[in-house]
Structures are given as structure tokens and as C-alpha cells.
């Protein structure tokens, strides 16, 4: 297991579409472990995608359970989602998002309040789950990475919705 370097904007790999994972091999399992180590090493990090470490595979890891931004309620704990597909979404909310790949900025982004997701878990078993609140936001954010979309691509107004990030201590 290892902490992998995070690609930073404007690295062109962050704008690429990731490929589907055909099966959960030992290499995919090792990548998942590395993603988890990398996510946990980042202060305030609640999610990570394989493209953020330069691997264009459709894999994300999310855990909002320890977040002070509302993750303690209504969440599934640690999620590893392979080939996640958002089947449905509903409601609207404006949330302040940040990203390990864009460390100096946050922005107000409109996201769905809930999502229904179809994916494979880390053992390769199909899971369908509904997520709400911060967990739904994290799933949408990480799924965007798999399609080469960054949160800055979803900003309505750079002038009023983008902010310098506060430094973590």
C-alpha cells in the first residue's frame, strides 16, 4: 500500500475519460488500497478517483463519515465504487466543493440532493445504493472525475462562486 501523488490542475489526464474495469484483479485491489491510503492522507479528503492519481480506470473511493461538513449522518461509511453509474438524481442544493487536484480553490456548485447509483464493490459484486447529502455530493464529484469533468467546469460564475481555499493545519 502506498500514498500516491495527486495530479494537479491543469494536468491533461484530469480531463480524460476513464475506461471501465472489466474484472477485479489483484492489481485493481492493490490500486484500491493505494487510493484509500492516499485519500486518508489528505486533510479533509472525503473522496478520490483513480484518474486523480493518473490511472484512467473507473474507480472511486468515498468516506464522508468523519467529515465535519455533515457527513456523520446518513451515509454508508467507506464506499469503493467500480464503474459507478448514476441511475437517478433528485433535488438541488448549492454546496461548497474542493478537490485534492485543485488544492488552492473551492467553489459553490449546484448538485443533486440525492442519487441512486449502480456500481461494483471492491469484490466485484453489483451494488445499488441511494445516497443523500454530503455523500451524494461526493459521489457526483468523484463520478465527474471519471468523465474528465472538474468542479471548476460546473461553476456558474467565476467572479462570485470561486474562492481561495483556507489552509488546513
C-alpha cell at 50: 483513480
Encode 128-167 in three state secondary structure.
EEEEEHHHHHHHHHHHHHHCCCCHHHHCCCHHHHEEECCC
Catalytic residue selected from 22, 27, 74, 142: 142
DSSP state, residue 100: T
C-alpha cell at 78: 467507506
- Judged on CB neighbours under 10 Å (0-12, 13-18, 19+), 74 is middle
Assess whether 142 carries a catalytic annotation. Answer: yes
Q: Which residues are catalytic?
A: 142
Amino acid at each position: 500500500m502506498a500514498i500516491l501523488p495527486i495530479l494537479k490542475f491543469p494536468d491533461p489526464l484530469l480531463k480524460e475519460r476513464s475506461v471501465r474495469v472489466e474484472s477485479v484483479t489483484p492489481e485493481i485491489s492493490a490500486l484500491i488500497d493505494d487510493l484509500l491510503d492516499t485519500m486518508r492522507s489528505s486533510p479533509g479528503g472525503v473522496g478520490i478517483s483513480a484518474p486523480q492519481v493518473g490511472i484512467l480506470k473507473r474507480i472511486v473511493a468515498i468516506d464522508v463519515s468523519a467529515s465535519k461538513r455533515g457527513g456523520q449522518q446518513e451515509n454508508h461509511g467507506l464506499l469503493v465504487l467500480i464503474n459507478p453509474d448514476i441511475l437517478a438524481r433528485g433535488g438541488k442544493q448549492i454546496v461548497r466543493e474542493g478537490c485534492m487536484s485543485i488544492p488552492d480553490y473551492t467553489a459553490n456548485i449546484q448538485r443533486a440532493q440525492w442519487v441512486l447509483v449502480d456500481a461494483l464493490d471492491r469484490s466485484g459484486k453489483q451494488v445499488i445504493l441511494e445516497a443523500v447529502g454530503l455523500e451524494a455530493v461526493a459521489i457526483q464529484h468523484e463520478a465527474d472525475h471519471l468523465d474528465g469533468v472538474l468542479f471548476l467546469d460546473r461553476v456558474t460564475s467565476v467572479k462570485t462562486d470561486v474562492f481561495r481555499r483556507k489552509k488546513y493545519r
